[in-house]
Amino acid sequence: MSTKSIFNKTILNKFASIVLLASISLLVACSKAPEAPQTFSEKFVVLSGGTEIGYLHADTNDDALTIDFSFSNNGRGASSKESLMLSPTGLPLSWDISGKTVFGNAVDEAFNTSDGQASWRAADGEGNADFAEDALYVSQSGSPYSMFIYANALLTNNNALKGLPGGELSIKMLEQGSLQNTLNNEDIATSLYAISGIDLDPSYIMLDANNRMLAVASPRFAVIREGFAAYDVQLREQVANLNARRFEDIAAKVTHSFDKPVRINNVRVFDSKNMTLGPLQSVLVSGNKIAALEPAVESAMPDEELIDGKGGFLIPGMFEMHGHMSDNDALLNVLAGVTSVRDMGNEMELLESLMDKIDAKTLIGPRITKSGFIEGKSEFSAATGEIASTEQEAVDLVTMYAERGDYFQIKVYSSITGEWVPAMAEEARKHGLRVTGHVPAFATVDEMIEAGYNEIAHINQVMLSWVLGRQEDTRTLFRITGMKRFEGLDLNSEIVQNTLNLMVQNNIAVDPTIVIHEFGLTARNGETRVGVLDYIDNMPIAVQRSAKQALLNVADEDEDLAYLFAFEKILDALTMMHERGIMLLPGTDLGGAFELHRELELFQQLGMSNAEILRRASFDMANYLGQGEQLGSIEAGKLADFFLIPSNPLIDLGAIKKISMVMKDGSVYYPDEVYPEFGIKPFLVQ
């Protein structure tokens, strides 16, 4: 990835140290406080991966704000209308938000203040608190313009404020520069800030010389003022580099590397091949490989580093089989014992840069197996990956991924024309690539198996073929809401059994992502979703609130029951597949880490024992990906990827959520040393 600056003019100022950055930020905030509100309008474009997908309009009239926001991508999108009243120091005094989330959940959020009291209503429920001039309400469903509201208030209030319903917010100025407005060729001064305390990671916002919003950006998504959209790529690259710098700093602080052999002593090793636990022993690691499994020792050898496992359980590193990796996900997966991830579609340059930094150990992350994402051109196209307009273009993209090297498979997406798949699959086979993906719109799962698929991504993609008509369009949110029809599905019917027979005959695997279906079909507003109950109190306030927000809009009691029955039908179908010997791959499409722990818990409901589940997440997946010679079990000669837990996971699978130590590629990490960097309360105290 290019590291060129986002600015097309000379950088006006760079600072030599974090201390100097902080002090200058304070001076800037005091000397350049936001101007008094006036009457004006602002227009922004919304971009994903460089593709324009929506708009944001903001109108200011003295202390009143109205915001209109909408975007659509990958057949789904969010929209909202907001109205606010601000105090003289920029604090929201009232804030009303209506609209819908990306997956269609209705938004009806309100915040109000009166007589020193604040009250609010959002998807996660209602609340109230004392209100003073040091309290900033953080919306649950606000548009990206919310970041400007927070920045404005923070800069007016000495760069830090207490958050409502909780947390502490702060802002730091990172860089100054200039940009040119392409509409009038005017150069304007810019300042790039990081806002911390809302979520696991900082949010980045660029302001102009008057401290008005120019852009909000992440590595893949940006909202940019009209006239400046040409800077989208450079801005996202800059944010990616800032993000990487943060994670590089974390890696430098928390990575424990040793220049001598490391002995993990007093541990019971889980034999993932035979699904048994060994006696108390020690595991000797030399460099990044396991040198030996030996009896426990009384004391450290002179030339060894000794880590006392305290009678705990050593488990092989696990695999997340449906990830879309970022710096954040990479680190959190390792801390959760997920030392290998199959990435199911990403921007090539972003992913390759991330992998290079992980290999160099400047970033902490898992071993990544790549998938080549191929989408068809349509009004519903996903912005991720590469897009084909013809069969030949689709085949050429298969060739491109193969020649780029180090790809395990291609992933076919929803807007691909089903008739193209046989040619794509034939080209993939020529290069030793497997084929997986969604079932393209207007095609069936049986047709894709016969066309050359090796695997199906998401269990709903299999089951929708059993309940939808040929002309029903799964490029939209309907591929989620259509699952209501699973309620009355007869799993012993001919259409179902024909698919299962084809899967068995053709050795077809399924990457079911059960946890995202549990989230979508069973989560309800105001109720903490079941999959996070045992750790959500350790998370930052924004994560806690999002855990009480449904993914989908549920219209009435009948629809509520239909969705709940649909999830039960999914579990029944997967149980039937497991009993037929169909390989089910543990993956989440939710980032992995804690979500993979829940995915594995859901495998229990398919009739798998804890030992079988741990084998599936390690030994089986290493061999499925062709990596069994190096990974998947704790054996002499294999790579040193494993994690340590105090409790027996064969008795309680939830024991894998409380990890005391992870070794990945010979380096040691203590999760509870790292979690505070994300605002996560430690699960164990060393």
H-helix or E-strand containing 451? Answer: helix 445-451
CB 548 within 8 A of CB 526: yes
Residue 343 counted as domain residue: no
Distance of CA 175 to the CA centre of its chain: 27
Residues of the chain with pLDDT under 50: 1-32
Q: Count CA within 13 A, CB hemisphere, residue 683.
A: 21
Sign of the Cα torsion 613, 618, 622, 623 reads negative
Those residues with Cβ within 8 angstroms of residue 16's Cβ, 6 or more apart along the chain or in another chain: none
Distance of CA 337 to the CA centre of its chain: 16
Residue 68 counted as domain residue: yes
For residue 14, what is the DSSP state? -
Tokens of 71: 């975007």
CA torsion, ordered 578, 582, 583, 589, to nearest 10 deg: -80
Q: Where are the beta strands (DSSP E) in 233-275?
A: 262-271
**The pLDDT value given to residue 134:** 85
As a whole number of angstroms, the distance between CA 57 and CA 604 comes to 48
Residue 62 counted as domain residue: yes
Q: Domain span at residue 55?
A: 18-253
CA distances from 682 to 540, 643, 670, 679 (A): 12, 16, 10, 9
Residue 55 counted as domain residue: yes
Indicate the pairing of strand 160-164 with strand 92-100. Answer: unpaired
The number of beta carbons lying within 10 Å of the beta carbon of residue 622 is 26
Residue 659 counted as domain residue: no
As a whole number of angstroms, the distance between CA 286 and CA 263 comes to 9
Classify the phi-psi angles of 159: left when phi > 0, otherwise alpha if psi is within -120 to 50, otherwise beta. left
Residue 49 counted as domain residue: yes
Q: What are phi and psi of 676, to 5 degrees?
A: -60, -25
Q: Count CA within 13 A, CB hemisphere, residue 531.
A: 29
As a whole number of angstroms, the distance between CA 119 and CA 97 comes to 14
Residue 313 counted as domain residue: no
Residue 117 counted as domain residue: yes
CB 312 within 8 A of CB 662: no
Q: How many separate domains does the chain show?
A: 1
CB 154 within 8 A of CB 195: yes
**The pLDDT value given to residue 35:** 52
| Of residues 387, 397, 460, 398, the one with CA closest to residue 425 | 398
For residue 681, what is the DSSP state? P
Place of tokens 């609209």: 99
Q: Of how many residues is the chain composed?
A: 686
**By three-state DSSP, how is residue 598 classified?**
helix
Per-residue buried b or exposed e for 400-416, using 16+ beta carbons within 10 Å of the residue's own CB = ebbeeeebbbbbbbbbb
| Of residues 159, 164, 97, 155, the one with CA closest to residue 132 | 164
Angle between helices 232-254 and 327-335 (to 10 degrees): 20
As a whole number of angstroms, the distance between CA 91 and CA 519 comes to 34
